[in-house]
Amino acid sequence: MKKIHRIIAALTAILVAITCSGFASLVSASAAATVTSVKIIKYPARTEFLKGADWDFGYYDVPDNGFGTFVSGGDKVAFKHYGGYHTRYEDLGMLDMNGLVVRVTYSDGKTADIAYKETVSGSSVYQNIYASFRKKVKPGINSVEVYFKPYNGVSDFYDINLVTTATEKGDVNHDGKVNSADALIVLQHVVAIKLLNAVDYNIGDMNTDGSINSFDALLILRKAVA
């Protein structure tokens, strides 16, 4: 009987070892998967930023511990979203990317839709998705690169617009008027004749539901004849 118990115990140990080994290999393979593709599937809610309210010329003088002090002047753009916190943007404050959703493909073939998230802890703000500017930030259109850490060259881009006067909702062509021309541009996007960039997409999204369709074009026409 004792011999049978020893055999059963030995077989159980072998089974556990095989199971754990297989699980460890699975975890190891999953952990080793790298990002191979990043595709923006939903733009951030904010792609236009107003001088004074959202950004200004200057920088944050950040101490070793605590909030930074804004120093105005010069030609350097600093964002006011979480400005002064210890983040990777540091003296530039942070870019508001709330609402951003990206589709990520991994080297193991799996995909995931990941929404941007900010986590505040003490005097720091942590992000799950990161962004960089390829060129010096300036008033007007700027291209934002979106990626994950560790950065391996895989990213996607969207545009933001730094303005001194807010653009009227529906003025997709930025001519200072909301009319049928704007509705036509929206419809061209809907049927994929000419796609809107992130800035104009949000301007044309009249009901701010995060999508562009013929109903937005109708709302623009209603506004034009109001």
Q: What is the pLDDT of residues 184-218, one digit of tens each?
A: 999 999 999 999 999 999 999 999 999 999 999 99
Same domain for 41 and 131, yes or no, is: yes
Can you give the pLDDT at residue 14?
Answer: 45
Residues 178 and 160 in one domain: no
- Separation CA 46–CA 143 (nearest Å): 14
Same domain assignment for residues 90 and 161: yes
The two tokens of residue 160 are: 């933001």
How many CA within 13 A on the CB side of residue 42?
Answer: 14
The two structure tokens encoding residue 171: 């003025």
The whole-number pLDDT of residue 15 equals 45
Number of domains in the chain: 3
Q: Are residues 154 and 192 in the same domain?
A: no
- The residue among 121, 143, 165 that closes a domain is 165
Q: Are residues 101 and 20 in the same domain?
A: no
Does 150 lie in the same domain as 45? yes
Nearest to 132 by CA among 155, 104, 109: 155
CA neighbours within 13 Å on the CB side: how many for 49?
26
Same domain for 139 and 51: yes
Instruction: Indicate the Cα dihedral angle 183, 188, 194, 198, nearest 10°.
Output: 50
Q: Do 156 and 122 belong together in one domain?
A: yes
Please give the pLDDT value at position 12.
53
Q: Are residues 57 and 120 in the same domain?
A: yes
| Confidence tier at 162 by pLDDT (50, 70, 90) | very high
Phi and psi, residue 78, nearest 5°: -125, 135
Q: List the domain range (segments joined by +) for residue 18.
A: 2-32
Higher pLDDT, residue 5 or 157? 157
How many C-beta neighbours within 10 Å does residue 226 have?
A: 6
Which pLDDT score, from 0 to 100, does residue 206 have?
Answer: 97
Average pLDDT (114-141) is: 92
Residues 28 and 38 in one domain: no
Burial zone of 93 (CB within 10 Å; 0-12 exposed, 13-18 middle, 19+ buried): buried
Q: Are residues 101 and 70 in the same domain?
A: yes
Q: Are 113 and 171 in a shared domain?
A: no
What CATH number does residue 206 fall under? 1.10.1330.10
Q: Please say which residue of 165, 192, 207 terminates a domain.
A: 165
Structure-block tokens of residue 213: 């369709």
31 pLDDT more than 90: no
Range with lowest mean pLDDT among 8-22, 72-86, 163-177: 8-22
- Please name the residues in contact with 226: beta carbons below 8 A apart, sequence gap of 6 or more: none
